[in-house]
Amino acid sequence: MALHKILKIVAVILSLAGIVFLGMIISKGDEVVKATGEGVDGYLYLAYITFAIVLLFVVVFVLKGIFAGNIKRTLLSIGAFLVIIAIGYALSSGVETPMQEGTLSESGSRWVGTGLHVFYILAILAIGAMVFSGIKKMTTR
């Protein structure tokens, strides 16, 4: 329960700091902020701090869950995910692509394609799991 209270206090402090930085940005005016970016630094630092705290908690609780649970099952899940990434990489092709701010390399293009293929595979698996679960529920009643 002490951790919950500490987190509530940290959340309130971060919220109040966000309100203060927002007030500073609003008081500067749109044109000044657009032209110079003045007043945005505090907001960015606040975002970095929040991101670091969230990342720390995610890593800690994931590691805690891995070691408290079934490590074999976790490693099998990670292995399955890596296999899906390998399949996505094999399905994608890289083409050097001109862009507004330079060129996307062949390797970069291939990794973008890999990300899209992995997304599609995982989406199909998720939809299939929901359909399978729904059919299973309907047939067991």
Q: Does 56 share its domain with 111? A: no
pLDDT value at residue 1: 63
pLDDT score for 92? 93
56 and 37 fall within a common domain:
yes
Q: How many residues does the chain have?
A: 141
3-state secondary structure 88-133: HHHHCCCCCEEECCEEECHHHHHHHHHHHHHHHHHHHHHHHHHHHH
Select from 69, 101, 119 the last residue of a domain: 69
Q: What is the pTM of this model?
A: 0.59
| Domains contained in the chain, number | 2
Rounded CA separation 138/112 (Å)? 39
Taking the C-alpha atoms of residue 131 and residue 67, their distance in angstroms, rounded to an integer, is 32
- What tens-digit pLDDT sequence spans the chain (141 residues)? 688 898 899 999 999 999 998 888 888 888 877 888 777 888 889 999 999 999 998 999 888 888 887 888 888 999 999 999 999 999 999 888 888 888 888 998 999 999 999 999 999 999 999 999 999 999 987
Domain coverage including residue 140 = 70-141
| Residues 120 and 141 grouped into a single domain | yes
Do residue 18 and residue 63 come from a single domain? yes
Residues 61 and 77 in one domain: no
Amino acid at 12: V
